[in-house]
Amino acid sequence: MNLSATRHQAPDEATALELFHLREWTDGLPVVIPTEERVEAMLAGVELDPDIILGEIGPGQATVEKVAINAVMAGCRPEHLPVVLAAVRAVTDPEFDIDNMQSTTHGMGPVIIVNGPARDVCGPIASGWGALGPGHRANASIGRALRLCLMNIGGARPGHGDMAALGQPGKFTCCLAEDEEGSPFPPQHTSFGYDADQSAVTLVGVDAPHSVMMQTNDDDPEAHERILRVVAGAIAIPGANNTQIGNGPVIVVLNPVHAGVLASAGLTREDVIERLVKLAVTPNSTMRGWATKRAFRDEDAYLPALRGPEDLVLIVAGGGGMYSAVFSGGLAGSTHPVHAPIHFDFSCELPGFPPA
Amino acid sequence: MRDGAIFAKAGLPAVAIVTEAFVELAAFTAQAVGMPAVPRYVLPHPCSGTGDENLARVAREAAPGIIALLEGRVEGRKP
């Protein structure tokens, strides 16, 4: 295989790791040293020339080889790579405005949502209990691989290429699958025109997730309305960019119980989104005390946190129960949710890596 | 910075105005868009939220330097 990356020498892995830290090639955590053999093994599962350019991130061209190197560093297995490649393709979509996201002072970053058979074949990518937390290798490694690409290809270094004033832990890694089996709605990626048996990533640039608690009760005929109001309230919190500036796509992650209550009330995914867009508002009278960047002419009117349904990506994930989540948006509306198909064809055993 | 580079590429006089905290990002971005020499003028950080009186003072002090850059009387970045 013809790899073009510059080779560096070190007497052993420990010394090599220190070199990676010294040169700021890591996210601050140890990485797997991307030896030539490991990068070749990573690429064995995808039939792509290493020098294919997926897109540009800031000053850097994201080639298949560079992405594979960062995937090795992040701890990915070869079967994860198709998801990482799709995620990189998606972030380089101009609609995502990655350069603006890299340089904003807002602590936002991309969230990778995986739909379709790739959830299992390229994973398993968790969608259930703790899907956004630690303990899931594919979720952790795939999200981290994208972040390392943003740093090592896109130059996002704190205080230089990445101007997040504070940042947030989700910028280390943030990847989950939708719980399609536990969802009463069609898979999220079908909203973008994919067939359910196709695989795709959806990327949304957002802030950290905000927990939304709502204890439902099967005897409560208004449970679905309560869920909608509480989720909408979490979208329109005082400190969210959506409230202060009034735009930017958000992600709503409904746990299967909350989603089931809404579906049992006859609501489709589109209905839920439409209701949330209408409910995620703040009275002007309240806004006067909260914000300075928006105009409030009519005291009796409401300011919306979302521009319309296109500003809301709704998925079902997490353990069933009381907790859903909202990721706030940002970038003054210049970023939009993007998606890309995941291409994989693991017809034979992948050489160079021990079995999972 | 990207706006400044777009104007400069179009042959229009342009100065990117950045605050001190963003000097390195500005250089990085200018490099990334292939216009490393886009003129830039550096203001104190932070500027936003420092009150109308201070902003007026900063603007008064900065204006001559920015105009000089626009007129090409000063080369490159004005610290």
Number of C-beta neighbours around residue B48 at 10 A? 7
pLDDT at A349 > cutoff 70: no
Contact check, Cβ <8 Å, B29/A58: yes
pLDDT at A149: 98
User: What pLDDT score does A277 carry?
Assistant: 97
Which pLDDT does position B79 carry in this prediction? 42
CA-nearest residue to B49 within chain A is: A292
Residues of A with CB under 8 A from a CB of B: 58-59, 99, 103, 155, 159-161, 163
Strand stretches in A121-259, DSSP E: 175-177, 200-206, 209-213, 250-254
Whole-number pLDDT of residue B7: 87
Instruction: Tell me phi and psi for residue A46, to 5 degrees.
Output: -120, 135
Query: What are A228-255's pLDDT values in tens digits?
Result: 999 999 999 988 998 888 778 999 999 9
Chain B CB contacts of A292 under 8 Å are: none
* pLDDT tens per residue across span A143-195: 999 999 999 999 999 988 999 999 999 999 999 999 999 999 999 999 999 99
Q: At what angle do helices A137-152 and A81-91 cross, to 10 degrees?
A: 40
Looking at the partner chain, which of A58, A59, A160 has a beta carbon nearest the beta carbon of B24?
A160
pLDDT digit string (tens) for B62-77?
Answer: 999 999 999 888 765 5
Cis peptide before A30 (omega within 30 of 0): no
CA A5 to chain centre: 28
Can you give the pLDDT at residue B1? Answer: 83
Alpha helices in A104-166 (DSSP H): 118-121, 137-152
- Indicate if the pLDDT at residue B78 is higher than 50: no
**Cβ neighbours, 10 Å, residue B52:** 7
Phi and psi (nearest 5°) for A260? -65, -40
Question: Which of B21, B22, B32 is nearest residue A58 as measured by Cβ atoms?
Answer: B32
Convert the pLDDT of each residue in A265-305 to its tens digit. 999 999 999 999 999 999 888 888 887 766 677 778 888 99
The per-residue pLDDT of chain A, averaged, comes to 93
Mean pLDDT of chain B: 87
User: What is the torsional sign of CA A167, A170, A172, A174?
Assistant: negative
Q: Count contacts between A and B (CB, < 8 Å).
A: 23
| B50 interfacial to chain A (CB closer than 8 Å) | no
Which residues between 18 and 47 in chain B have a beta carbon less than 8 angstroms from any beta carbon of chain A? Answer: 21-22, 24-25, 28-29, 31-32
- Quote the percentage of chain A above a pLDDT of 70: 97
The per-residue pLDDT for A351 is 65
Share above pLDDT 90 across residues of chain B, in percent, rounded to a whole number: 35
Q: Residue A163: list chain B partners with CB under 8 A.
A: 21-22, 25
Count Cβ atoms below 10 Å from residue A167 Cβ, excluding itself: 16
Task: Find the helix or strand (DSSP H, E) in which B28 lies.
Answer: helix B23-32
Count of helix runs (H) and strand runs (E) in chain A: 12, 12
At A207-216, the pLDDT tens digits run 999 999 999 9
